[in-house]
Amino acid sequence: MSDEEQNTAAVGPSGPAASARPAAADAAAEPEKGVSRRDLIGLAIGASATSLVVGAGAGLVGGAAYGQDQARRIMDAAAPASGIHQPGITTPVQEHLHFAAYDMMARTTRDDLAELLSDWTYAANRMMQGLDVSATGALGGSPDAPPDDTGEAVGLPASNLTITFGFGPSLFDARFGLEGQRPAGLERLPAFLNDDLDPLRSDGDLCIQACADDPQVAVHAIRNLSRIAFGRATIRWSQLGFGRTSKTTASQTTPRNLFGFKDGTANILADDTAALEENVWVSASEGPAWLAGGSYLVARRIAMLIETWDRTRLAEQDRVVGRDKGAGAPLSGGDEFTAPDFSAVGPTGKPAIDPRSHVSLAHPDNNGGIRILRRGYNFVDGTTDLGRLNAGLFFLSFQKSPDRFVTLQKALSTDAMGEYIRHVGSGLWAVPPAPAAGASIGAGLLGA
């Protein structure tokens, strides 16, 4: 389990519009944009916004007149979102997650990779605005062909959807001529004490993090981006998450994890630009040029031994975490936001906060000031073969260098929490900055 003490949160570009998706999947088309068409999945682009007729009458979407504001949103969707940082890092944490890792298929080329990233950028930008993946979308294409969009988000608002892309260590090999572009720290995470990793739930050439306040919107994003990848990349593994386990703005309340404790109290907030520069964003002097303004993403699937925890005394739960379960205050005293005092002595003459507690081992004061930005989620994937909850924390963190996470994870090797959790999945990806207007994600890496 990650600790609220060490984590930082950030805020990048403002969230997408929350207006409802056109019921006929973007009945108005948009200016032509060069997006490739695969054998089975293509993005329908090129029709004029003033001439496309959908349904029973021209300019009608679900029986409603198509207004100027909606038409403007369609036109604006032609250009990918721009900004220094990708959305979904410092954005206020949404309530739902669909995360997916992908492997490029055998015999794909550098051109295939560039084409895929271009197609993904275009479709992601549309979906973050509450639009279908293409102008014809779910309902506006030929009845004799599969729709471009799967349609389960028709009529739903954008729900603050953010889509964030990352590149794994395995992408930087001879297949795509990227060996010389791999950042020095982008390597498969080392084995940690008590790891029990499933290789089928770990790593991947590429990753996509889709977060939204509606779970169906997040699932729709991954479903359609996976469909667009057909013939070029396949899903290696994925994870659904609910109930954020951190906050990134002061206006958000501190959530509770599945152990019932407040989580994310000391996460870096979006407006703390100094902390973000120091702990999250890669500067031009700290990595290759294509990664400047980006970050590194760590994902860890952490199984919680729920039934064992639920039979543990409340006082022992508090000791293991280092905080009061009800108020979230450190056991050294104060309220939720009081800084822990690791020198404080409790009634028994022992440290008020156990040195082996999660808070103590993960706190920046005990780790050379290292902080990371967390955006984790709870998960419940049914029950195990033994009839126990298959549940836990899908830990997500952003940091300016992978060695920061490695240092913290090694510090947690004696964590009292280790009796109640197992790390069963893992991955590391470099997250490039947001693309410039009109460019694709990863353009700096591929020189496109």
Q: What pLDDT digit, counting tens, does each position of 396-409 carry? A: 999 999 999 999 99
Average pLDDT of span 326-347: 96
Task: State the Cα–Cα distance between residues 73 and 51, nearest whole angstrom.
Answer: 16
- Residue 308: name the closest of 243, 386, 388, 240 by CA: 388
Average pLDDT of span 280-300: 96
Contact 57, 196 (CB under 8 A): no
pLDDT grade for 447, boundaries at 50, 70 and 90: confident
pLDDT surpassing 50 at residue 318 = yes
Contact 37, 79 (CB under 8 A): no
pLDDT grade for 21, boundaries at 50, 70 and 90: low
- Residue 10: name the closest of 429, 371, 406 by CA: 371
How many CB atoms sit inside 10 A of residue 20's CB?
15
pLDDT grade for 411, boundaries at 50, 70 and 90: very high
Average pLDDT of span 71-92: 62
* pLDDT for position 313: 98
Say what the pTM is.
0.84
* pLDDT for position 54: 24
Helix axes 110-128, 215-228, angle to 10 degrees: 150
Average pLDDT of span 103-131: 97
Task: State the Cα–Cα distance between residues 292 and 280, nearest whole angstrom.
Answer: 11
* pLDDT for position 136: 96
pLDDT grade for 194, boundaries at 50, 70 and 90: confident
Task: State the Cα–Cα distance between residues 136 and 146, nearest whole angstrom.
Answer: 11
How many domains in the chain?
Answer: 1
Task: State the Cα–Cα distance between residues 164 and 121, nearest whole angstrom.
Answer: 10
Q: Do the domain assignments include residue 248?
A: yes
Average pLDDT of span 215-222: 98
For residue 238, the one-letter residue type is: S
* pLDDT for position 250: 87
Q: Do the domain assignments include residue 355?
A: no
Strands 377-383 and 373-374: unpaired
Residue 147: which domain range? Answer: 4-303+428-446
- Residue 224: name the closest of 235, 214, 213, 237 by CA: 235
The pair phi, psi for residue 377, each rounded to 5°, is -140, 150
Percent of the chain with pLDDT over 70: 81
Q: Which of 76-80, 187-191, 232-236, 298-302 has the lowest mean pLDDT?
A: 76-80
For residue 305, the one-letter residue type is: L
pLDDT surpassing 70 at residue 3 = no
Q: Do the domain assignments include residue 359?
A: no
Q: What is the mean pLDDT of the chain?
A: 85
pLDDT surpassing 50 at residue 16 = no
pLDDT grade for 20, boundaries at 50, 70 and 90: low
- Residue 211: name the closest of 186, 248, 170, 169 by CA: 248
- Return the higher-pLDDT residue of 78 and 101: 101
For the chain, the three-class secondary structure string (H helix, E strand, C coil) is: CCCHHHECCCCCCCCCCCCECCCCCCCCCCCCCCCCECCCCECCCCCCCCCCEECCEECEECCEECCHHHHHHHHHCCCCCCCCCCCCCCCCCCCEEEEEEEEECCCCCHHHHHHHHHHHHHHHHHHHCCCCCCCCCCCCCCCCCCCCCCCCCCCCECCCCEEEEEECHHHCCCCCCCHHHCCCCCCCCCCCCCECCCHHHCCCCEEEEEEECCHHHHHHHHHHHHHHCCCCEEEEEEEEEEEECCCCCCCCCCCECCCCCECCCCCCCCCCHHHHHHHCCCCCCCCCHHHCCCEEEEEEEEEECHHHHHCCCHHHHHHHHCECCCCCCECCCCCCCCCCCCCCECCCCCECCCCCCHHHHHCHHHCCCCCEEECCEEEEEEECCCCCEEEEEEEEEEECCHHHHHHHHHHHHHCHHHHCEEEEEEEEEEECCCCCCCCCCCHHHHCC
Q: Which of 11-25, 217-231, 413-427 has the lowest mean pLDDT?
A: 11-25
Q: Do the domain assignments include residue 69?
A: yes
Average pLDDT of span 181-192: 96
Average pLDDT of span 145-165: 97
pLDDT surpassing 50 at residue 59 = no
- Return the higher-pLDDT residue of 15 and 372: 372
* pLDDT for position 430: 98
How many CB atoms sit inside 10 A of residue 222's CB?
20
Contact 25, 139 (CB under 8 A): yes
Task: State the Cα–Cα distance between residues 88 and 162, nearest whole angstrom.
Answer: 5
Q: Which of 66-80, 193-207, 327-341, 352-366 has the lowest mean pLDDT?
A: 66-80
- Residue 162: name the closest of 124, 204, 197 by CA: 124
Q: Which of 40-49, 115-124, 355-364, 382-391 has the lowest mean pLDDT?
A: 40-49
